[in-house]
Structure 1
Amino acid sequence: MAVGKVPRWLSLASFLSVVIVLVAVSADASVPALFIFGDSTVDCGTNNYINTTRNFRGDFPPYGQDFFGKPTGRYSNGRVIVDFIAEYAGKPLIPPYLEPNADHSHGVNFGSGGAGVLVETNQGLVVDLQKQLSQFLEHKAAVSERHGQTLAEEVFSDAVYIVSVGSNDYLGGYFGNPKQREKSTPEQFVGAVVTGIVESIKMLYSFGAKKIVVAGLGPMGCIPALRARDESGSCSAPVSAVASAHNNAVQGALSQLEQFLPRLTIVHAQFYDFLLERLENPSKHGYVSGDKPCCGTGSCEGRCGAEVPGCEHCSNANAHVWWDPYHPSESIHRQFAEAVWNGTSPYIHPVAVQELFKPAAEPHHYDDKLDLFVGDPLQQLVSESILMT
């Protein structure tokens, strides 16, 4: 049987029905499941299974060369942050939702490279955040049908949820879109993106989530692709300023939201200062370069691919902060994962990620009709967010 009331915006491709019948609940009930939403910062292969362009794929050499020995769809020379989080939690790699015959017993990764908070960001080429939430709801319904609603509720209420998204809305949806800049100021656009994140967190809560990690944006103006456009190779201060404003607005809005949603814990992972330190003092953190990517210089024209003629490729990717013109190296992913897992201040607040993987003392129960916490004072508000068109 399905769980709760299915929102009107839920519309999934028919082939997903083949995937969801293979879901299972975790065999090790003592370790919470892990569910992942977002963009290329967490994508572990989703875009391998959708109809998109090369710009939104990471399934060709030299991606994945330093850990997997082959491309996996990750936008890295190896693993990404959620792979390390899963390892520290004692779990295997969490597979993408769309991967056929995948083992979803430890969790599911819905992240899609290029995805945004706003549906119109790279629309038709990626799995946007709203679609990812739709997929999660269908996954939850399948688990409930197969294993019973009581067990499903315990699994999803005790799980850890990671949300890492937003940069594509700004880089492509705003700064890369002159028409959008004519329609709205940076402040107005930040407001729209932040509102989308808040609504998505409310939806996750209504679906059963109570332990959510929200990753902030890095200094976007310092990505090599933007620095290459500046004659002096400097970071774009306006772009990074928007990222900083976004982070402050998200943290403030979610801190207020948390006060009204019972039993919800929102953990903020602050990537901005973490990355900026390594960009400004790379040698202090074990890097030889904080501005040039390992892959994507020379005649690559902003691309990273072994088959691109004249494309330069360094010999030690993990000695660089940047892997390609848009994405950090596996080493950065590992260092940040270590910081948030261990609770290194000021990069994680209010608790270390490892604390979230401690099982709940007792399961929580939900209203059979709306799948909300019984007695939730914001029940009507959350219900409206689920049923929006």
Structure 2
Amino acid sequence: MLLSPAEAIGYTKIIPAFLDPNLKPTDLLHGVSFASAASGYDDLTANLSQVLPVSKQLEYLKHYKLHLSRLVGVKKAQNIVNNAIFLLSMGTNDFLQNYYLEPNRPKQFNVEQYQNFLASRMFEDIKEMNRLGATRVVVVGVPPLGCMPLVRTLAGQNTCVESYNQVAWSLNAKIKEKLAILKKTIGIKDAYVDCYGVIQNAINNPKKFGLVETSKGCCGSGTIEYGDTCKGMTTCADPSKYAFWDAVHPTEKMYRILADEAIASLDGALID
């Protein structure tokens, strides 16, 4: 059976949101999520989407520690945080929704400068996480942007758009460089999940993963609809045969393939 990273290392199937009004005190013992969909390493990306930026998520991490300390005591709470695995998965919206669609960042940065900016923001975020007690961090790389059905459609191509893929590949390289520096300078244990390579491999070798359709999504036409625009649309008969659910996001099947890769990244890198 294919598992999510949380399931595979023995936790509950769903990691609850820290802001969930139904969150129970005992849920804090097993980990929570501070994530906010459509956020990014660049706080401006979150502001454009009106979601929580990473800076706010880190603030909630501080609140989490306070609640946890009240529940189990300061020493045990610190031990839980020290041994927790922190997962970061961002970067796609920074480019697709912020840099390429909004006028501000392109006026300030060329593509390489923006990549450096994002990698630097990640670097500082992880340093802050470490200051708050994080010692184990998993970073999910940016997927091949040019293979997303929406990008293919806008570019008028049936194949992946290599210029977009190159942007993602270069950003990932810079992220890995920063992780190496963090490991050397502050001793943080880290693992990198090669989202780019996994999705690219699945698109190039669909039969190997039991996939049939890798060029369009399961929802609607599969070429332009994503997120809320999929509401009310017809869907494909078998999403497990598709790499993409909509024109941007992978299917559950693809996420499970990525989860397997994440577990492989954890093995030996973070688990003592």
Q: TM-score, length-normalised on structure 1?
A: 0.64
The alignment-based identity, stated in percent, is: 28
Is the alpha carbon distance of 1:143 and 1:339 closer, same or farther for their aligned partners in structure 2, counting shifts above 3 Å? Answer: same
Structure 2 counterpart of 1:97: 18
Deviation at 1:184, TM superposition (A): 1.5
Deviation at 1:146, TM superposition (A): 3.3
Higher helix share: 2
> CA-to-partner distance for each residue in 1:364-386, whole Å, 9 max, x for gaps?
xxxxxxxxxxxxxxxxxxxxxxx
1:241 aligns with 2:166: yes
Given candidates 59, 65, 70, the residue that maps to 1:134 is 59
User: Does the aligned pair in 2 maintain the 1:112–1:126 contact within 8 Å?
Assistant: yes
- Root-mean-square deviation over aligned CA pairs: 2.1
Structure 1 counterpart of 2:267: 352
- Deviation beyond 6 Å, 4+ runs, structure 1: none
Given candidates 72, 87, 90, the residue that maps to 1:147 is 72
Deviation at 1:113, TM superposition (A): 1.1
Structure 1 regions of 5+ residues with no counterpart? Answer: 1-80, 359-389
Is the alpha carbon distance of 1:159 and 1:307 closer, same or farther for their aligned partners in structure 2, counting shifts above 3 Å? Answer: closer
User: Does the aligned pair in 2 maintain the 1:300–1:312 contact within 8 Å?
Assistant: no
Structure 1 counterpart of 2:36: 112
Structure 2 regions of 5+ residues with no counterpart? Answer: none
CA distance in 2, matches of 1:212, 1:204: 9
Q: TM-score, length-normalised on structure 2?
A: 0.90
> CA-to-partner distance for each residue in 1:82-120, whole Å, 9 max, x for gaps?
x71111112112111111121332100111110011111
1:278 aligns with 2:193: no
Given candidates 236, 243, 257, the residue that maps to 1:335 is 257
CA distance in 2, matches of 1:207, 1:194: 20
Structure 2 counterpart of 1:188: 113
Q: Which amino acid aligns with 2:8?
A: Y
CA distance in 2, matches of 1:211, 1:121: 26
CA distance in 1, matches of 2:224, 2:105: 29
CA distance in 1, matches of 2:111, 2:38: 20
User: Does the aligned pair in 2 maintain the 1:211–1:356 contact within 8 Å?
Assistant: yes
Q: Which amino acid aligns with 1:286?
A: G
User: Whose RCO is larger (CA < 8 A, sep 6+)?
Assistant: 1
Is the alpha carbon distance of 1:332 and 1:302 closer, same or farther for their aligned partners in structure 2, counting shifts above 3 Å? Answer: closer
Structure 1 counterpart of 2:95: 170
* 3-state SS, counterpart of residue 121 of structure 2: helix
Structure 1 counterpart of 2:7: 87
User: Does the aligned pair in 2 maintain the 1:298–1:312 contact within 8 Å?
Assistant: no
> How many residues of Structure 1 are paired with residues of Structure 2 in the alignment?
266
Q: Which amino acid aligns with 1:328?
A: P
Deviation at 1:137, TM superposition (A): 1.1
Alignment of 1:1-389 (within 5 A): 84-92=4-12, 93-102=14-23, 103-123=27-47, 125-262=50-187, 264-297=188-221, 301-302=225-226, 307-308=231-232, 311-341=233-263, 343=264, 348=265, 352=267, 356-358=270-272
CA distance in 1, matches of 2:104, 2:147: 24
Which protein is bigger by CA-based radius of gyration?
A: 1
> CA-to-partner distance for each residue in 1:340-365, whole Å, 9 max, x for gaps?
31x2xxxx3xx527x6355xxxxxxx
